[in-house]
């Protein structure tokens, strides 16, 4: 039988909702990737009896139990003693850990180690410390009965993640012969809803899921749907089954797919296209208020391909800064095809960019007019025709529209993504 894991996250703030339990989600992905899927999650407050009960129950279900949080130096950090009790082990103070803590404090200019921090050198008997490169609380690896293991990690997400490499290494050693390698690939799509995508994928796979053990997961976000295909290794045929699945789904997702291995964000794909061709982009945003520019500039190195943008919220900015024709605004309204086109063309001319996108829409909740419900958005993509001088004509613009569902935030995110998607497609067509 395959290996199973369980996760215990500790902290009152997780129960009250003051902190979102991002550790559990991150660990869930990391553990299934390792081939040790999570069987159950437990979330408990900073109380010995609750932590102890959760760890005992988790050990009933899983070979690997990962606990995060409550390893700090203060009185309300209860994980170490509670886990020691659950395992029936005493806590031993590890002199090497005491020394490492002292060195860390001296290195930061403190004369002595605060006594409370000594607690962080306590290890349930039989356990080993996993050094923490980013904080004081080391992780702990504690072998338990029946080949099981309990792993304790700090609650601070970046420390927890930094320690996971060491955990992964030990897990591969400890469970080597029982780990089934998982072959998997994540495909990013945008512009097709999950409800439309899923049946097309099932049809394309034609029963491959049951025949060859291919698992399909849909991970929908406002910006698109990620598709994760995975196959547990069986008789050496896992990689080939995954390749077959990829071949089958490829034609379905081709018009929606983008490549963003680092971030999963469409901006990564657009940045690559622009960078490779030496093209520079500008933006003219109304209802998204600069949100697209913020996404673009979040990417390191954006200055190589992003020139800048105009937040043209008021009509006066659309006309005076971007050169939108007031008559056109009057006749068609700000949320219209010709205004979207003139915004994109205007910012392209103003900045001298090679390409531009514009967005104008009704994000809601107010603002709907006859024939234009909340969620109506027009966007446009403009390209300077190659070899033409931007001061002359030589600009080609195409606009599109949609009525996006959701609240103000959702409409704004979807609108920005739609404009980026069209830019991505047109850059592909022009390649
Ligand atoms: P410290 O040494 O900082 O006290 P710790 O191991 O005791 O580390 P906690 O005190 O439980 O960890 O949490 C430290 C920080 O990490 C807090 O800001 C907390 O909100 C956050 N945190 C804890 N657990 C999680 C979790 N499961 N998901 C996301 N954030 C978390
Ligand atoms: Mg805590």
Indicate if the pLDDT at residue 393 is higher than 70. no
Residue 134's pLDDT is what? Answer: 84
* CA count, 13 A, side-chain hemisphere, 367: 16
Q: Among 102-111, 260-269, 352-361, where is mean pLDDT lowest?
A: 102-111
- Closest CA relative to residue 89, chosen from 20, 31, 152: 152
Q: What is the pLDDT of residue 391?
A: 63
| Ligand nearest to the backbone CA of 74 | 1
The answer, yes or no, to whether residue 37 has pLDDT greater than 80, is yes
Residues contacting residue 343 through CB under 8 Å, at least 6 positions apart: 284, 286, 312, 318, 322, 324, 358, 360, 380
Q: Of all protein residues, whose CA lies closest to atom 2 belonging to ligand 1?
A: 72
Instruction: Determine the longest span between alpha carbons in the chain, in angstroms.
Output: 81
Q: Is 23 in the pocket of ligand 1 (CB under 6 A)?
A: yes
Q: What is the pLDDT of residue 388?
A: 64
Q: Is the CB of 156 under 6 A from ligand 1?
A: yes
Out of 262-266, 358-362, 419-423, least confident range: 262-266
**What's the average model confidence in pLDDT over 391-412?**
91
Of residues 386 and 368, the one with the higher pLDDT is: 368
424 pLDDT higher than 70: yes
Give the model's confidence band at 287: pLDDT under 50 very low, under 70 low, under 90 confident, else very high: very high
Whether pLDDT at 125 is above 90 = yes
182 in Cβ contact with 35 (< 8 Å)? yes
Predicted local confidence at residue 233, as pLDDT: 76
> How many angstroms does the Cα of residue 305 sit away from the middle of ligand 1?
38
Q: Residue 387 pLDDT > 70, yes or no? A: no
Look up the pTM and report it.
0.76
CA angle 173, 186, 423 (to 5 degrees): 145
Q: Which of 111-115, 232-236, 373-377, 404-408 has the lowest mean pLDDT?
A: 232-236
For residue 46, the ligand 1 atom closest to its alpha carbon is 11
Closest Cα to atom 20 of ligand 1: 19
Cα–ligand 1 centroid distance for 136 (angstroms): 13
**What pLDDT score was predicted for residue 33?**
83
**What does the pLDDT read at residue 1?**
64
What per-residue confidence (pLDDT) applies to 259? Answer: 96
How many angstroms is it from 263 CA to the middle of ligand 1? 25
Mutate to test the pocket of ligand 1, among 8, 69, 161 (most ligand atoms within 8 A of CB): 69
pLDDT tens-digit series, residues 169-193: 999 999 988 887 778 899 999 999 9
Mean pLDDT of the chain: 94
Q: What is the pLDDT of residues 315-350, one digit of tens each?
A: 999 999 999 999 999 999 999 999 999 999 999 999
In this predicted structure, the answer to whether residue 313 has a pLDDT above a threshold of 80 is yes
Percent above pLDDT 90 for the chain: 81
Q: Please tell me the distance between residue 160's alpha carbon and the centre of ligand 1 in angstroms.
A: 9
Mean pLDDT computed over 399-428 = 97
User: What digits encode the pLDDT tens for the residues 54-95?
Assistant: 999 999 999 999 999 999 998 889 999 999 999 999 999 999
Closest CA to 101 of 131, 70, 81, 69: 131
Q: Are the C-beta atoms of residues 209 and 216 closer than 8 Å to each other?
A: yes
Which pLDDT does position 286 carry in this prediction? 98
Average pLDDT of the segment spanning 274-283: 97
Residue nearest to atom 31 of ligand 1 (CA): 155
Query: Which one of 7, 9, 10, 11 would you pick to mutate in the ligand 1 pocket, going by the greatest count of ligand atoms within 8 A of its CB?
Result: 11
Check pLDDT > 70 for residue 389. Answer: no
Going from the Cα of 68 to the center of ligand 2, the distance in angstroms, rounded, reads 9
- Residue identifier of the C-alpha nearest atom 17 of ligand 1: 156
Which bound ligand lies closest to the C-alpha atom of 14?
Answer: 1
- Residue 133 pLDDT: 82
Residue 15 CA to ligand 1 center (angstroms) comes to 13
How confident is the model over 200-222, as a mean pLDDT? 90
SS3 assignment for the chain: CCCCEEEEEECHHHHHCCCCCHHHHHHHHHHHHHCCCEEEEEEECCCHHHHHHHHHHHHHHCCEEEEECCCCCCCCCCHHHHHHHHHCCCEEECHHHHHHHHHHHHHCCCCCCCHHHHHHHEEECCCEEECCCCCCCCEEEEECHHHCEEEEECCCHHHHHHHHHHHHHHHHHHCHHHCCCEEEEEEEECCCCHHHHHHHHHHHHCCHHHHHCEEEEEEEECCEEEEEEEEECCCCCHHHHHHHHHHHHHHHHCCCEECCCCCCCHHHHHHHHHHHHCCCEEEEECCCCCHHHHHHHCCCCHHHCEEEEEECCCHHHHHHCCCCCHHHHHHHCCCCHHHHHHHHHHHHHHHCCCEEEEEEECCCCCCCECCECCCEEEEEEEEECCCCCCCCCCEEEEEEEEECCCCHHHHHHHHHHHHHHHHHHHHHHCC
Edge-to-edge strand list for the sheet holding 5-10 = 38-44, 5-10, 64-68, 149-153, 139-143, 128-130
Which protein residues have a CB closer than 5 Å to ligand 2 (ion)?
Answer: 11, 70
Lowest mean pLDDT among 133-147, 388-402, 416-430: 388-402
CB 270 within 8 A of CB 423: yes
Q: Do 67 and 10 meet the contact criterion of CB atoms below 8 Å apart?
A: yes
If one compares 132 and 149, the residue with the highest pLDDT of the two is 149
CB 14 near ligand 1, within 6 Å: yes
Is any ligand 1 atom within 6 A of the Cβ of residue 138?
Answer: no
pLDDT for 211 equals 82
User: Is 392 a residue whose pLDDT tops 70?
Assistant: no
The residues near 246 (Cβ < 8 Å, ≥ 6 apart) are: 185, 187, 229
Task: Ligand 1, residue 11: give the atom nearest the CA.
Answer: 11
Question: What confidence score (pLDDT) does residue 385 get?
Answer: 87
State mean pLDDT over 103-119: 89
Site to probe by mutation for ligand 1, drawn from 156, 158, 159 as the one with most ligand atoms within 8 Å of Cβ, is 156
Instruction: Tell whether ligand 1 has an atom less than 6 A from the beta carbon of residue 364.
Output: no
pLDDT value at 151 more than 90: yes
- Percent pLDDT > 70 in the chain is 98
C-alpha 60 to ligand 2 mean position (Å): 25
């Amino acid at each position: 039988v395959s290996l199973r894991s369980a996760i215990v996250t500790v902290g009152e703030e997780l129960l009250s909702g003051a902190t979102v339990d991002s550790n559990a989600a991150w660990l869930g992905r990391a553990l299934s990737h390792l081939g040790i899927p999570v069987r159950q999650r437990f979330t408990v407050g900073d109380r010995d009896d609750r932590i102890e009960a959760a760890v005992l129950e988790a050990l009933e279900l899983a070979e690997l139990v990962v606990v995060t949080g409550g390893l700090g130096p203060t009185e309300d950090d209860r994980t170490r003693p509670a886990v020691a009790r659950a395992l029936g082990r005493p806590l031993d103070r590890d002199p090497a850990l005491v020394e490492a803590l002292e060195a860390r404090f001296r290195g930061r200019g403190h004369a002595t180690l605060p006594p409370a921090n000594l607690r962080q050198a306590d290890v349930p008997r039989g356990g080993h410390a996993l050094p923490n490169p980013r904080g004081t609380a080391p992780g702990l690896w504690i072998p338990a009965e029946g080949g099981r293991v309990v792993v304790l990690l700090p609650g601070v997400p970046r420390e927890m993640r930094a320690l996971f490499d060491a955990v992964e290494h030990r897990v591969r050693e400890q469970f080597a012969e029982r780990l089934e390698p998982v072959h998997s690939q994540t495909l990013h799509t945008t512009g097709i809803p999950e409800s439309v995508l899923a049946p097309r994928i099932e049809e394309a796979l034609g029963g491959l899921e049951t025949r060859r053990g291919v698992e399909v997961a849909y991970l929908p976000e406002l910006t698109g749907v990620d598709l994760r295909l995975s196959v547990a290794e069986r008789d050496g045929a896992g990689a080939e089954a995954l390749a077959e699945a990829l071949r089958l789904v490829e034609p379905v997702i081709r018009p929606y797919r983008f490549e963003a291995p680092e971030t999963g964000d469409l901006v990564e794909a657009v940045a690559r296209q622009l960078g490779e061709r030496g093209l520079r982009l500008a933006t003219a945003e109304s209802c998204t208020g600069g949100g697209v520019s913020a996404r673009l500039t979040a990417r390191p190195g954006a200055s190589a391909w992003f020139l800048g943008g105009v937040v043209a919220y008021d009509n006066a900015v659309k006309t005076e800064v971007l050169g939108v024709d007031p008559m056109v605004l009057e006749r068609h309204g700000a949320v219209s095809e010709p205004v979207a086109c003139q915004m994109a063309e205007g910012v392209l001319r103003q900045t001298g960019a090679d390409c531009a996108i514009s967005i104008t829409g009704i994000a809601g909740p107010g603002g709907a007019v006859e024939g234009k419900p909340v969620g109506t958005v027009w966007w446009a993509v403009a390209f300077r025709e190659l070899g033409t001088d931007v001061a002359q004509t030589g600009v080609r613009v195409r606009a599109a529209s949609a009525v996006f569902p959701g609240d103000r935030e959702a409409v704004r995110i979807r609108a920005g993504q739609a404009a980026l998607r069209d830019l991505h497609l047109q850059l592909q067509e022009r390649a």
